[in-house]
Amino acid sequence: MKKQTKGMIFFVAIGGLLLFWGASASMQGFSPSDSESEMTITGTPADNFPDEIRAQFCGTGSAKSNAYVKEYKIPTDCTQPLAITTDPQGNVWFAETNTGNIAKFDSTTETFTEYENPTWPENARSMMWGMDYSSDGSIWYTDDAFDSVWKFSIQDENYQRFNFPTEGESLPQRLQVVGSQVIVNDFTGNKITFLDAAQSSEELTYVSLPSPVPNSATGGFAIDSDDNLWYTNWIFQQDGVLVRFDQEDFFTSLSNSEGSLPPLFNFLRLVPLPLGLNTPNGVAVDSDGKIWLAETSSSYFFSFDPGTKSFTKYVTSDPTISTYGNASGLIKNPVTRPYWITLDENDRLVFNEQTANRIAIFDPKIETLTEYVAPSKNPNWADCEQIKDCGLAQIFDFTIDGSKIWFTEWVENNIGVLDTSVQLPFKVELDNTQISLGKGETITLTLQVIPLTNDDIPIVQVITADTEGFSDIMIETDVTQFQLDFDGPRIIQTSITIDENALATSHKILIGAQTDEVTISKYITLTIES
């Protein structure tokens, strides 16, 4: 399928293997011929996997629902849906990594249409991480197995493949259509590539921006109101930078340079990443120009204020034991792994918590976090053994359409929708969200859990978390579990104690309550005084 491409490219290809967060490595290199295990032929894409691992990759049950999330089973077995987007008519489009096809879900009739890709090689599989709708009525998406970018015409129902520009290592990942440009980050190829969305042949017109950190991963990206492109370069467990690229000035200079390349680094600004920000995959920019980063190797997400040039670290609630199981007892510090991140129409942050089986919504104006649980769980991706209702559906991508957040479940063969307009069961209030404590000091705060329904909630858990990461901050509550009666709030006393040897710095503390379907929390800003 490879074809020569021509265009403008200016980067140095760097070798080296990078750790790739996600499950793609488990699937990409596998071929049925690699295994001597029993193969039950079904005539479906499930035949790409031997019986012993079929449930792990193809799903373990029917679609499920809860008060906030409804799932839909894809008619074809074992398609492994990944990238997802919507069109202006409200149709949901997604890529099937185990078939090479694009599928449409009509949210009005609740029906699926899967479009066969006639050029896709038999039994081929590819992780398709990025997808977006273009105003010309087409769907663009990435394909890492064949180093490709694809365009699917909705009207003509046909596919067009473009060979992604590469020199050596390459992994086209996230994709966004912006005006006449298609922007793609090359995760292992150390570049951001700008494609011409209007092109009609397989000979690409493109410009590639080399990443400033050699041998690094090039993470997700976002564009601010001044048309600056923000993205990350990082080397796992070492260091990295947040990059601002002034693309408007660059392309203006390029068009005036009569073919000669303007000095690239005149258009880049680099911000070193702080400690603890090791794998920043997702990037978003809010209406105030603040940059948000999802940290995929932990339970953290970060903001960066370009005005003050300062980072702020936030933490999610801990994953519930139903997502990681811990049947062996060996998991001591489970994490949620925030993956991709974006903003909804109300300027609230939305991100997927890959290893918590959740979609999270953070309101930066009032600093509340709401985390919704997806009901399906595949036990083959956690330490479950005989634990019931345990595991992960591998929620790798999502898209926002008004109050609905659509997402894919890669190992359960489902798409799901979170309806954020559904009334929450309660809200939480704190009597103090800005506190300062000296070393060795303690403060007691009041948490109110206020019912918003006419029904009692029999089991509510109190949750706490903080960004400190060691034992310098100790948080205790007078109850850990309770029944919430519909006719009045529940008052919970929470004490925060600072260790005598704590460092003088600031932290975010998360306090809230959870049911088995949703967690609702608020942040406290804690300043430890010297």
47 DSSP assignment: G
Of the chain, the percentage scoring pLDDT greater than 70 comes to 92
Band (pLDDT 50/70/90 cuts) for residue 530 is confident
Does 426-529 carry CATH code 2.60.40.10? yes
* Half-sphere exposure at residue 500, Cβ-oriented, CA atoms within 13 angstroms: 0
Asked if the model's pLDDT at residue 436 lies above 80, the reply is yes
Task: State residue 31's pLDDT score.
Answer: 46
How large is the greatest C-alpha to C-alpha distance in the chain, in angstroms? 73
- Is this structure's pTM higher than 0.85? yes
Q: Indicate whether 19 pLDDT > 50.
A: no
Distance from C-alpha of 207 to C-alpha of 178, rounded to nearest angstrom: 15
Band the pLDDT of 254: cuts 50, 70, 90: confident
Confidence class for position 472, pLDDT limits 50, 70, 90: very high
Arithmetic mean of pLDDT, 89-93: 97
8-419: CATH number: 2.130.10.10
> For 496, how many CA atoms within 13 A lie in the half-sphere containing its CB?
27
Residue 476 dihedral angles phi and psi, to the nearest 5°: -135, 145
Least-confidence region, from 198-207, 339-348, 441-450: 198-207
pLDDT of residue 45: 97
Range list for CATH 2.60.40.10 in the chain? 426-529
Phi, psi values for residue 359, rounded to 5°: -110, 130
Residue 257: strand pairing partners: none
Q: How confident is the model at residue 28 (pLDDT cuts 50, 70, 90)?
A: very low
Residue 24: pLDDT over 70: no
The H or E element that residue 158 is part of is strand 158-163
* Mean pLDDT value across residues 211-225: 94
The residues pairing with 2 across neighbouring beta strands, listed in sequence order, are none
Cα–Cα distance, 50 to 511 (Å, whole number): 45
For the segment 314-328, the average pLDDT, to the nearest whole number, is: 96
pLDDT digits (tens, 9 = 90+) for 37-54: 789 999 999 999 999 999
pLDDT bucket at 29, cuts 50 / 70 / 90? very low
For residue 5, give the 3-state DSSP assignment. coil
Name the one residue in this structure whose structure tokens are 């000035």. Answer: 249
The pLDDT of residue 1 is above 60: no
- Structure tokens that stand for 453 in this block: 């329904």
| Mean pLDDT along residues 322-338 | 95
Query: Residue 355 in 3-state DSSP?
Result: helix
Query: String of b and e for 56-65 (b: at least 16 CB within 10 Å)?
Result: bbbbbeebbe
For residue 330, what are the contacts with CB-CB under 8 A and spacing of at least 6? 383
Mean pLDDT of 252-278: 86
- 202 pLDDT tier (thresholds 50, 70, 90): low
Residues of the chain with CATH 2.130.10.10: 8-419
CA distance 408 to 126: 15
Predicted confidence (pLDDT) per residue in 163-180, tens digit: 998 877 899 999 999 988
pLDDT band for position 289 (cuts 50, 70, 90): very high
Place 362 in a pLDDT band, splitting at 50, 70 and 90. very high
Return the DSSP state at 389.
S
Res. 358: pLDDT tops 90: yes
Quick one: pLDDT at residue 272?
97
For 53-59, what is the mean pLDDT?
A: 97
Strands (E), 28-147: 69-73, 81-86, 92-96, 102-106, 111-115, 131-134, 138-143
Residue 259: which pLDDT band, with cuts at 50, 70 and 90?
Answer: low
Quote the strand ranges of 258-324, DSSP E: 268-272, 280-285, 291-295, 300-305, 310-315
Cα separation, 498 vs 341, whole angstroms: 32
pLDDT of 27 strictly over 90: no
Q: Checking phi first, is residue 237 left (phi over 0); if not, alpha (psi -120 to 50) or beta?
A: left
Mean pLDDT for 290-318 is 97
Across the chain, what does the average pLDDT equal? 91
Q: CA 227, CA 82: separation in Å to the nearest integer?
A: 28
Alpha-carbon distances, residue 244 vs 228, 239, 265, 269, 527 (angstroms): 6, 17, 11, 5, 30
pLDDT band at 265 (very low <50, low <70, confident <90, very high): confident
Mean pLDDT of 152-165: 95
- Read off the pLDDT band of 201 (50, 70, 90): low
pLDDT the model gives residue 47 = 96
Q: What is the mean pLDDT of residues 53-73?
A: 97
**Range 449-477 average pLDDT:** 94
Candidate from 11-25, 302-316, 422-436 with smallest mean pLDDT: 11-25
